[in-house]
């Protein structure tokens, strides 16, 4: 049976959903604010965008796929593995952050490392906050924040072109 509109709205306003929305909003502010502050700490450190802007739609699709994969590999899997094996989900977040920065962004200098570790720390933090109440919403938090970051990064890349 289909739910009526008032019932759907009431369900979305449950405290757990409101909390999820607040966690996402605060994490998004932390994520983007930290990136802006780190970027202000090192002006002129932007990547070369000449080759990146040749096919922006292809770049966007590849980026969305990569961000989803990164959320799974460096946030969800390490946290879930350490949660199940040792009941230490925070250890998984630390492992994910320690692996993500140096493995993926080792050649981007201190700014690339700091930014990447900041990103994975905020995404993992939101995941850890949401995980006790819902695995599905925690996964949505992680993937959603990575996709939000990619939209922000893509806009910055294409804006510099």
> What is the per-residue pLDDT for 44?
60
Write out pLDDT tens, residues 55-85: 888 889 999 999 999 999 999 999 999 999 9
Q: Residue 52's pLDDT is what?
A: 60
pLDDT (average), residues 101-124: 88
Are residues 150 and 74 in contact, defined by beta-carbon separation less than 8 angstroms? no
Look at residue 5 in the predicted model and tell me its pLDDT.
72
Radius of gyration of the chain (CA): 17
Tokens of 97: 């952050």
pLDDT at 41: 77
The pLDDT of residue 150 is 96
Given the structure tokens 């990136």, which residue do they identify? 35
pLDDT at 45: 55
Q: How far apart are CA 97 and CA 118, in angstroms?
A: 8
pLDDT in tens, 142-160: 999 999 999 999 998 888 6
pTM of the model: 0.88
Segment 91-110 shows an average pLDDT of 88
18-65 pLDDT, tens per residue? 899 999 999 999 999 999 998 887 766 555 555 566 688 888 999 999
Judged by DSSP in three states, 46 sits in coil
Q: What is the mean pLDDT of residues 101-119?
A: 86
- Max Cα–Cα distance, the chain, nearest Å: 57
pLDDT for 14 equals: 79
d(CA 20, CA 28): 12
Using CA atoms, how far residue 157 sits from 2, 60, 153, in Å, is: 44, 11, 6
Give one word for 4, left, alpha or beta, with left for phi > 0 and alpha for psi -120 to 50.
Answer: beta
Q: Among 120, 118, 136, 138, which Cα is nearest to 128's?
A: 138
């Amino acid at each position: 049976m289909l739910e009526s509109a008032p019932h759907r709205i009431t369900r979305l306003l449950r405290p757990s959903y409101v909390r999820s929305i607040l966690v996402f909003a605060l994490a998004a502010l932390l994520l983007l604010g930290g990136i802006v502050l780190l970027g202000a700490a090192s002006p002129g450190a932007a990547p070369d965008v000449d080759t990146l802007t040749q096919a922006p739609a292809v770049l966007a699709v590849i980026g969305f796929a990569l961000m989803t994969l990164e959320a799974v590999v460096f946030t969800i899997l390490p946290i879930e593995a350490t949660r199940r094996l040792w009941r230490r989900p925070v250890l998984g977040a630390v492992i994910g952050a320690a692996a993500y920065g140096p493995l993926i962004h080792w050649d981007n200098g201190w700014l690339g490392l700091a930014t990447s570790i900041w990103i994975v720390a905020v995404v993992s933090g939101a995941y850890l906050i949401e995980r006790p109440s819902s695995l599905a919403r925690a996964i949505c938090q992680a993937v959603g924040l990575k996709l939000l970051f990619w939209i922000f990064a893509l806009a910055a890349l294409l804006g510099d072109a």
